[in-house]
Amino acid sequence: MITSIKREFNLFPNIVGIVTTDNLSTITTAGYFSTQAADVELLNNGVWQWENEDIVLIYYATAQIGWFTYDATTDAFVSLAANGGLSNTLPSGDIFVGNASNVATARAMSGDGTLSNTGVLTIGAGAITGSKIANNAVDYANLALDVAASATVALTAAQVNGMYATPVQLLPAPGAGKLIIIDSILWDIAFVSAQYAAGGAIAAQYGNTIHGAGPAASGTLAAASLNGVAASGFLSNAGSAGLLNVAASASENTAVYLSNASAAFTTGDSTVNLYIRYRIVTPA
């Protein structure tokens, strides 16, 4: 509460001296001065009238003193900046933020990011979600399908040998109105003992069509390349750039599968990890 208030008229601008037991947050909260009206009237022996040129020096809790102006719109006090700008003191790691009363207030950054006292901004884990990314923006993250992503799919030898008649799902359908665009597929082959044989050109495709007959979603990997692997190593499919030719009805909200043309692979016993880089776009 305000325990003392007095105006010095012999100066210009006028200086109003106030002593209060309230803290900075309270005296800068909208409507503060009205809550003190009864006490002020007793201390002033009448209703207090503010002058346009009043500058206010306030001694407030706890043992703080500072210069303010009175804002008639908010009916509260507004702290004046120190000479030359903001105060030269600030708690470690804090930044100045204007509060609801337009007062620069020390606050620690929180929410999606934090700020260290060396100026390093750290984005919180999981803070960047699909709703915060514009359609068609490119970013690589985990398998959350509301953002562009990379995925790892493990293939057994039986799946490689059988994908001619039983295509293997690489990526699930992305959702209504969305389209999966493959950027690349890296084959990490762990050779066991027997090379693959026969088969035909391998590609990712839209939909679960047998014999690799679905609309192409990636470039092809020649059967000879896979059949020639006799030691652990790497192969790859190119992405869809420059070859995409598919109807919207056959590709939007459609899962991507891996299959091959011509014939089934045989004899191979090596396992494969496929590292797939892709984007999910929302065509206009």
Task: Report d(CA 229, CA 159) in Å as an integer.
Answer: 17
Which segments of 216-269 does DSSP mark as H helices, in order? 223-227, 248-251
Which string of b and e fits 209-223 if b means at least 16 CB within 10 Å?
eebbebbbbbbbbeb
Q: Is the pTM of the predicted complex or chain greater than 0.85?
A: no
When mean pLDDT is compared across 73-77, 148-152, 255-259, 277-281, the lowest value belongs to 148-152
Task: Report d(CA 68, CA 66) in Å as an integer.
Answer: 7
SS3 116: coil
Q: Write out pLDDT tens, residues 239-269.
A: 998 899 999 999 999 999 999 999 999 999 9
Say if residue 3 is preceded by a cis peptide, omega within 30 of 0: no
Location of structure tokens 């192409």:
216
Q: Distances from the Cα of 123 to the Cαs of 55, 127, 144, in angstroms? A: 42, 7, 18
Q: Which helix (H) or strand (E) holds 24?
A: helix 24-27
- Identity of the residue numbered 98: G
Q: Which of the four pLDDT bands, split at 50, 70 and 90, describes residue 134?
A: low
Q: Write out pLDDT tens, residues 3-14.
A: 999 998 777 888
Q: Write out pLDDT tens, residues 150-166.
A: 999 999 999 999 999 99
**Mean pLDDT, residues 110-125:** 88
Q: Which of the four pLDDT bands, split at 50, 70 and 90, describes residue 90?
A: low
Domain map (residue ranges) of the chain: 2-80, 132-281
Please write down the HEC assignment for all residues of 160-181.
HHHCCCCCEEEECCCCCCCEEE
